[in-house]
Amino acid sequence: MSTYYLKCFNGNVFFDATIRSERNGRKVVFVLETDRIYFTAEDHFPFLALQKIRLYLEDHGVKLLCNGARIDVYPSGFFMESFKAYRLVIDKAAAKEDLVNILDATDELERIGTVSDQEAYWQKWLNRSKER
C-alpha cells in the first residue's frame, strides 16, 4: 500500500487530502480521504480509478491537485496499468522525459481541469499528432 499526500481546492480554500492505493487482485483501489470526504474507487487501470475519484469530486465542486488531474496529462496504452502518464504538449511527440506519476502533487492550479477538459485536450493532442 502507498499513501500520497495531496491538496484539494474547492474554489475558495485549499485543504489536505490523502489517497491510499492498494491492489485487490488485478484491480487497483484508491481511497481518498479529507476531513470531510471519504471516497473509494477501483479499476483495472489506475488512471481510470483516479478519474472516478475526480468525477466524484467534480460533483462537489472540488479539484484534486495531482498530475493525473492536469488537462495536459494522459497515459499511453502502454502505461494504462501503471501510475505513469505523459505530460503532453500540442504539436510535440510524447517522450520519456515527459512521464510523470499521476498521484504526485502539483501546484499548477491553472493546469487542473475537469475530466472532460482533460479528454478534450488529449483528443486535440491526438488529432494534431495525426496531422504531422
* pLDDT (mean) for 83-90: 96
Q: Report whether pLDDT(14) > 80.
A: yes
Q: Report whether pLDDT(78) > 90.
A: no
pTM for this one? 0.94
* pLDDT (mean) for 84-94: 94
Q: How far is Cα of residue 13 from the mean position of the Cα atoms in its chain?
A: 20
Distances (CA, A) of 63 to 7, 50, 78: 9, 12, 27
Which residue do the cell numbers 483495472 mark? 44
CA distance 102 to 98: 12
DSSP conformation letters of 21-41:
EEEETTEEEEEEE-SS-EEEE
